């Protein structure tokens, strides 16, 4: 009996996601689909367009059986830590047998080979990477090129250009990181590739399988609801409209602006230097830009470099907002996901949940009221700190809603979504 895991953001849940979910179930013959999903902030370093419960409900009404939250401290991280946190979450359920993910290049052996190099970092590869970085290439390209050189030299059969192109596909990058995470955690979960359909990850045009980016872009249009409708499964469209009608979205990057600009002007360079991924004097660059700039976009353009691209800067700004320090990030990475936070379940998910209860290797947070008991700061300091960060993410996120919806503490009051 197999249970398939999916790592997702569903920001929002669209036709491509539905296709992938169906394929995952079919390709593995799984009796259930378990999703691990980003919470209110996503891996690009942005707030999600609607909140985590609404996005979990979309997934459930489109065929998922269980949706767990990927803790903030893994969701808003580099592809490596995101994938590692997600794979560990699935692994720690104790019941997931397969993981299914999309890729632009559905060539599992090739992706495995690349994952192996990135994981093992052979001497030759590291020397080449360093040389390319020293020549001034940006990191993703230098890394792809170093892997490509290594593989084409050692295997002789691989076309270096093919390796290079493969490593530049955004879904391939994540796929490689999932494979690497499975390898590094010695997980017995079996990886299954599903070819992608439709638009690329970054594509902003609305085609039949429009990307989530394109769909989010439509919100600047007054007729957005009609514009996005063809690209969303009907439950997803319905939930999106309902949430926005209730004043709970669309949450956008612009909502971060007043808070972040004030916070960055307020913080000292040494406070910034304590934040995760702020290194090499970036704190001074940020301080200077915070003073000079009159908008968040202006600030980011002043701060970004080849090494710190826009997405990385976006994530760093969230680390600043949520005070994710180097110390905290290190303790979270050492522990890995410390709990399974249930966001929602289907009737068949209920049965899987019972199985998870008996087999899972970490705390299962199901009824929200038990959290304070389960996760006391004394008995579980790291887990509690990890959870408190998720709570803060929701509490800040709620401030971007319409005024009547801005109260905090939702993590303690909203129960997991149950669909019939």
For the annotated binding site for ATP, the residues are 7-20, 102, 171, 196
Rounded to a whole number of angstroms, the minimum distance from the CB of residue 21 to a second copy is 34
Burial of 409 (0-12, 13-18, 19+ CB in 10 A): exposed
Contact 346, 60 (CB under 8 A): yes
Q: Are strands 339-345 and 66-70 parallel, antiparallel or unpaired?
A: antiparallel
301 forms part of the interface with a second copy (CB under 8 A): no
Site for a second copy in 365-394 (CB under 8 A): 392
- CB closer to a second copy, 114 vs 251: 251
For the annotated binding site, the residues are 7-20, 102, 171, 196
Q: What are the CA-CA distances from residue 416 to residues 57, 89, 343, 346 (Å)?
A: 9, 18, 5, 10
Name the one range near a second copy by CB under 8 A: 82-90, 121-129, 140-148, 406-414: 406-414
Residue 157: how many CB atoms within 10 A of its CB? Answer: 7
418 forms part of the interface with a second copy (CB under 8 A): no
Among 133, 259, 360, 414, binds a second copy (CB under 8 A): 259
263 forms part of the interface with a second copy (CB under 8 A): yes
Residues 318-347 vs a second copy: string with x where CB under 8 A? ---xxx------------------------
290 forms part of the interface with a second copy (CB under 8 A): yes
Among 107, 203, 333, 395, binds a second copy (CB under 8 A): 395
Name the one range near a second copy by CB under 8 A: 7-15, 63-71, 93-101, 396-404: 396-404
- CB closer to a second copy, 263 vs 414: 263
Q: What are the CA-CA distances from residue 140 to residues 26, 79, 158, 166 (Å)?
A: 34, 11, 20, 12
How is residue 34 written in tokens? Answer: 């378990």
Rounded to a whole number of angstroms, the minimum distance from the CB of residue 266 to a second copy is 7
- CB closer to a second copy, 195 vs 409: 409
CA pair distance 409, 49, nearest whole angstrom: 19
Among 1, 334, 404, 420, binds a second copy (CB under 8 A): 404
408 forms part of the interface with a second copy (CB under 8 A): yes
Rounded to a whole number of angstroms, the minimum distance from the CB of residue 376 to a second copy is 17
Contact 77, 141 (CB under 8 A): no
The closest of 404, 365, 361 to 386, measured between CA atoms, is: 365
Q: Is 310 helix (H, G, I), strand (E, B) or coil?
A: helix
CA pair distance 360, 362, nearest whole angstrom: 6
- In the Cβ-directed half-sphere of 304, how many Cα atoms lie within 13 Å? 15
Binding footprint of a second copy on the chain (CB under 8 A): 258-259, 261-263, 265-266, 290-295, 321-323, 392, 395-396, 399, 403-409
């Amino acid at each position: 009996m197999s249970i398939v895991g999916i790592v997702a953001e569903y920001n929002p849940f669209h036709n491509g996601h539905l296709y992938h979910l169906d394929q995952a179930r079919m390709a593995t013959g799984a009796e259930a689909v378990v999703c691990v999903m980003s919470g209110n902030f996503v891996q690009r370093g942005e707030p999600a367009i609607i909140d985590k419960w609404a996005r979990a409900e979309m997934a459930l009404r489109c065929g998922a059986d269980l949706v767990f939250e990927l803790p903030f401290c893994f969701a808003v991280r580099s592809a490596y830590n995101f994938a590692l946190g997600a794979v560990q979450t699935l692994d720690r359920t104790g019941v997931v047998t397969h993981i299914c993910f999309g890729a632009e290049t559905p060539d599992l052996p090739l992706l495995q080979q690349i994952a192996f190099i990135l994981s093992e970092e052979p001497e030759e590869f590291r020397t080449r990477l360093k040389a390319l970085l020293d020549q001034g290439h940006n990191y993703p390209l230098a890394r792809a090129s170093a892997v490509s050189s290594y593989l084409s030299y050692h295997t002789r059969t691989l076309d270096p250009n093919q390796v290079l192109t493969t490593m530049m596909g955004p879904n391939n990058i994540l796929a490689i990181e999932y494979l690497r995470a499975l390898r590094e955690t010695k997980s017995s979960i079996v990886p299954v590739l599903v070819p992608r359909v439709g638009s690329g990850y970054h594509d902003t045009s609305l085609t039949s399988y429009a990307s989530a980016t394109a769909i989010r872009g439509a919100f600047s249009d007054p007729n957005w609801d009609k514009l996005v409708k063809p690209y969303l499964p009907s439950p997803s469209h319905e939930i999106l409209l309902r949430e926005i009608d209730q004043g709970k979205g669309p949450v956008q990057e612009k909502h971060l602006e007043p808070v972040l600009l004030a916070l960055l002007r307020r913080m000292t360079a040494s406070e910034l230097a304590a934040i995760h991924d702020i290194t090499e004097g970036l704190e001074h660059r940020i301080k200077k830009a915070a003073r000079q700039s009159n908008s968040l976009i202006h600030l980011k353009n002043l701060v970004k470099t080849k090494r710190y691209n826009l997405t990385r800067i976006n994530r760093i700004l969230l680390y600043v907002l949520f005070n994710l320090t180097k110390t905290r990030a290190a303790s979270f990475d050492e522990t890995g996901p410390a709990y399974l936070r249930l966001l929602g379940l289907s009737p068949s998910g209920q049965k899987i949940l019972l199985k998870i209860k008996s087999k899972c290797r970490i705390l299962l947070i199901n009824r929200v009221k038990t959290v304070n008991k389960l996760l006391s700061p004394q008995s579980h300091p790291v887990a509690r700190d990890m959870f408190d960060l998720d709570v803060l993410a929701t509490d800040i996120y709620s401030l971007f809603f319409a005024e009547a919806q801005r109260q905090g503490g939702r993590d303690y009051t909203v129960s997991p979504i149950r669909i019939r």
